[in-house]
C-alpha cells in the first residue's frame, strides 16, 4: 500500500475525482493545508464561491484527520526552509508550502501536488510527485 501527503493544490483541483487513480492508497493532509482551505473560504470574492469552498472544505474535513505540526515536522521545516534559501528563494514567502513539504519529509512519504515546480528546490529532501 502506498502512502503520501496531498498538497492543497490537489484538494482544490476542479477535477479532483479524476485524480483518484494517481493518488496514493493511503492519503493524508497537513494541518497547514487545512489552514489554507479555511483561509480560502474567508477570502472568497462572492457568496457562490464562498459556499462552494465551504462545501469542499466540509468534504475534506469529513475525510481527513490532518497531521499536526510536531517536533519532527519542525525540524524538517528548518531543513526545507534552508534548502529554499540556499536555492535563492525566500522561505517566508512560501511558508505554507514549506510546512506541507516538511510534513511529508518528517513522515518519509511522497508529496502529491499539481504544482511540482513549487518544490524543485527540495528535490534532494522530498519526493514531490505531479498529479
> Which cell goes with 35?
489552514
For the chain, the structural domain boundaries read: 3-130
Residue pair 112/7 in contact (Cβ under 8 Å)? The answer is yes
* Per-residue pLDDT tens over the stretch 69-106: 999 999 999 999 999 999 999 999 899 999 999 999 99
* Per-residue pLDDT tens over the stretch 26-76: 999 999 999 999 999 999 999 999 999 999 999 999 999 999 999 999 999
pTM confidence score: 0.92
The fold adopted by the segment(s) 3-130 is: Rossmann fold (3.40.50)
Question: What pLDDT score was predicted for residue 123?
Answer: 95
> Which cell goes with 86?
540556499
β-partners of residue 5 are 28, 111
DSSP state of 21: G
Determine the 3-state secondary structure of 67 from DSSP. Answer: strand
Amino acid at each position: 500500500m502506498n502512502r503520501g501527503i496531498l498538497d492543497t493544490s490537489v484538494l482544490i483541483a476542479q477535477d479532483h475525482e479524476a485524480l483518484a487513480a494517481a493518488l496514493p492508497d493511503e492519503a493524508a493532509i497537513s494541518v497547514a493545508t487545512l489552514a489554507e482551505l479555511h483561509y480560502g473560504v474567508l477570502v472568497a470574492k462572492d457568496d457562490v464561491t464562498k459556499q462552494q469552498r465551504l462545501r469542499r472544505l466540509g468534504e475534506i474535513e469529513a475525510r481527513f484527520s490532518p497531521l499536526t505540526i510536531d517536533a519532527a515536522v519542525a525540524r524538517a521545516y528548518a531543513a526545507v526552509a534552508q534548502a529554499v534559501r540556499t536555492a535563492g528563494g525566500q522561505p517566508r514567502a512560501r511558508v505554507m508550502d514549506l510546512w506541507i513539504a516538511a510534513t511529508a519529509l518528517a513522515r518519509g512519504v511522497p508529496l502529491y501536488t499539481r504544482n511540482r515546480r513549487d518544490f524543485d528546490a527540495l528535490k534532494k529532501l522530498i519526493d514531490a510527485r505531479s498529479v
